[in-house]
Structure 1
Amino acid sequence: MAEEGLRPIIVKRIKKGGGGHHGGAWKIAYADFVTAMMAFFLLMWLLGSTTKGDLNGISEYFKTPLKVAMSGGSGSGDSSSIIKGGGKDLTRTDGQVKASDDPQVKKTYNLTAAKAALEAEENQRLKALKERIEAKIEANPLLKKYKDQLLLDITSEGLRIQIVDEQNRPMFALAKAELQPYTKDILHEIGFVLNDVPNRISLSGHTDSTPYMSDAGYSNWELSADRANASRRELIVGGMQDSKVLRVVGLASAINLDKADPFNPVNRRISIVVMNRKAEDNVLRDGRKIEVGDTDDAAGIGAAVNAPPAAPPAGPPVRK
C-alpha cells in the first residue's frame, strides 16, 4: 500500500489547435466560388433574356468596333421589343452601317442654275467696279479733264475700259510707243483700282488705218503691240499686280472703233478688259486639241477660215 502511494501521477493536457496550417483560407476560397457562381448565373440570365437581334448586334460590334463607334447604326440595342416578332425585324444579321434608319435624301445640284448665279454675281461685281471707276473719274480733276477719252462699257468678255485718242490730245507720241505724261497718270489711277476684283485683264493696242512703213518692216502691228505692252508697264507702276495680266496683244487697225471712218483718231486706243470667267477660260484653253464632236470650237475655226479678207484702205496718207 505504501508503494502505491508513491506512484507518480501523470496529467495529460490536450492542446486544442486552430486547424493547423489551413487556418481560415477556406473561407476566402468559398467566397470566390460563390462570386463566380453568381456571375455565371447573371451571364446565363442575360443570354436567356436577350433577343437574337441584340445578340447579332453585339457580335457585329466586336467584329468591327471602330466602324460601329464612328458611324453608329442598326445593330446592338436597336430592337424595340423583347417579344419575338415585336417591333423591328429582330432576325437581322447586318452590322451597324449607318447612324439612323431614316431614308436617305439624295442631293441634286442644278449646274445650269449654279453657273447662272455665278455669272450674275460676277456681272454685279464688274458693274460695281465700273461705277467706282466712273466715280473716281468725276472726283479726280485730272481724270475728269480727260473724261471724254475714257470709255467704259460691259461686253461679253467683261468690263472694257478704253482710252482713246483725240485729234489734239494723243495718248502716245506720234508713231511711237512713248506714253504722254497725262496718259501715264490715267493708267496709274486705273491700275490701282483694278486690284479690287480678282478678275484678270487683257490689254490690246489699236491704231487707225493709216499705214506705217519703215525700212526695217516696222508696221502698225508692231506699233500697236508695243503700245499695249507700254500700257501694261504703267498699270503695274500704278499698283496693279503683275499676275493679273493674262494677255497683251496688238491688233493694229483690224478692229476699228469708228468703222465708218477708219482714219478717225478715236481708232487709236488702248483697250483694257477686266475679263469674266468665261473669257478667262477661253484664253487659257487657247490652242487645246479639238476632239471629234467639239462643234463649238470647230464652228468658230470654220467661220474664221471662211471669213472674207478685209479690204485695204484706198489712198491713205503714210505714217512716218
Structure 2
Amino acid sequence: MGRKKHHEEAEEGWITSYADLMTNLFAFFLVLFIFATNSKEETNMSVVLQEIRTGFLERVDKKAAKVLKDELKKAQTPSMPQVDSKKAEIAKKVEKVIIEQQLKNYVHIIIEEKKIRIVFTDPVIFKTGKAELNPQAKKILKEVASILKPIPNPIFVEGHTDNVPIHNKEYDSNWELSFSRAYSIIKYLQKVENIPPDRLSGTGYGEYKPLAGNDTNINRAKNRRIEINVIFFDEKKSEETSGKTNNQATKAETSHTSKPGH
C-alpha cells in the first residue's frame, strides 16, 4: 500500500513538471506569434525607432557635409587682399594657355606670397646645351607675354640646369648656359613682345638651385628649367614708402630754401 502511494506521487510530480514545461513553451511561442503578427502598436514603435535612428544619422551627415562645404569654400575663396585676386586672375589666364597648347606636363604655375612662378621644363624652351628658343617656346611665350604686358608688375627670369658638366664651343659651364637662357627669354619679351625693359631682369643659377636631387634622370629633368617670376609687392607699403620719401624731399627742399643767403 505504501509503495503504491509513493508510485502515484512520483507520477503526479512528473506530470506537473511536464505541464510547467508546456506552459513555458506556450508562453514562448505566444510571444513569437505576437512579434510575427506585427501588430499596429509594435509596427508603430518600430517605425518610431527607425525614424529616430535615421533622423540622427541624417543630422550627423548634414553637419559633416556643412563643415566640409565651409572648409572648401574657405579654401576656394579665401579672404585675400586685392593683390592676391590679381594674382589668381593672372594664374588662371596662364593656366588656360597651358591647357590650350597641351603643355600641362611641361609648364607649371606656382602661386606664392610675393610672386607667381611660371616654370618651363627644358625640352619646351631649349634644345640640350643650347640657349636659342625653340619655335614652340616662342608660341607659348607670345601667349604668356600677352597676359603679362598689360600689368605693371616686374618680371624676373631665372635659368636653371642640372649638374651634368657642359663643355662646348659656346659655354664653359652650366652657370654660363643658364645665364644665356635667361637672357634669351628677356630679349624675346623685350624685342619681340615689347614689354618695357625696366620691368625685365634675370639671372642664371646653373645647377645650384635644384628642385630635386640630381641623382636620377627624372630629377635632373626637373632641374633643367626656366622660371618666369611675376613679382608682386605690397601696394600699401609701397604707397607709404613713397609718401615718406616725398615728405622727406619736401622738408629738405623747405629747409634748403629757408636758409639765409640761399
TM-score class, shorter: 0.5 to 0.7
CA shift at 1:223, angstroms? 0.3
1:121 aligns with 2:75: no
Tell me, in whole angstroms, the C-alpha distance in 1 between the residues paired with 2:170 and 2:96: 45
Quick check: which one's helix share is greater?
2
User: What pairs with 1:1-320 in structure 2 (closer than 5 Å)?
Assistant: 120-138=81-99, 140=100, 143-144=101-102, 146-165=103-122, 169=123, 171-214=125-168, 218-237=172-191, 239-243=193-197, 245-259=199-213, 261=215, 264-277=220-233
Corresponding pairs, count? 156
Q: What TM-score does the superposition give when structure 2 sets the normalisation length?
A: 0.53
Unaligned runs of 5+ in 1: 1-118, 282-320
Identity of matched residues, %: 29
**Residues 192 and 238 in structure 1, CA contact (< 8 A), matched pair in contact too:** no
Bigger CA radius of gyration: 1
Contact 2:190-2:197 at 8 Å conserved across structures: no
Relative to 1, partners in 2 of residues 1:215 and 1:184: Cα closer, same or farther, differing over 3 Å?
closer
Structure 2 residues not aligned, in runs of 5+: 1-79, 238-262
**Cα RMSD, aligned residues only:** 2.8
How many angstroms apart in 2 are the aligned matches of 1:209 and 1:156? Answer: 29
Structure 1 residues 188 and 126: CA distance shift in structure 2, 3 A: same
Provide the rounded CA distance (Å) in 2 between the counterparts of 1:171 and 1:217.
18
Q: Which runs of 4+ in 1 moved over 4 A?
A: 214-217
SS in 2 for 1:159: strand
Q: 1:205, 1:251 within 8 Å by CA — same for their partners in 2?
A: yes
1:196 deviates by 3.0
TM-score by length of 1: 0.44
| TM-superposition CA deviations, 1:46-79 (whole Å, max 9, x none) | xxxxxxxxxxxxxxxxxxxxxxxxxxxxxxxxxx
Distance 1:188 1:205 in 2: 19
Give how far 1:159 is off: 0.8
- Quick one: higher RCO (CA 8 Å, sep 6+), 1 or 2? 2
Q: How far 1:134 moved relative to its partner?
A: 1.3
In 2, Cα distance between equivalents of 1:209 and 1:157: 28
CA contact (8 A) 2:162 2:214 kept: no
With over 3 angstroms needed to count, the CA separation of the structure-2 counterparts of 1:261 and 1:196, relative to structure 1, is: farther
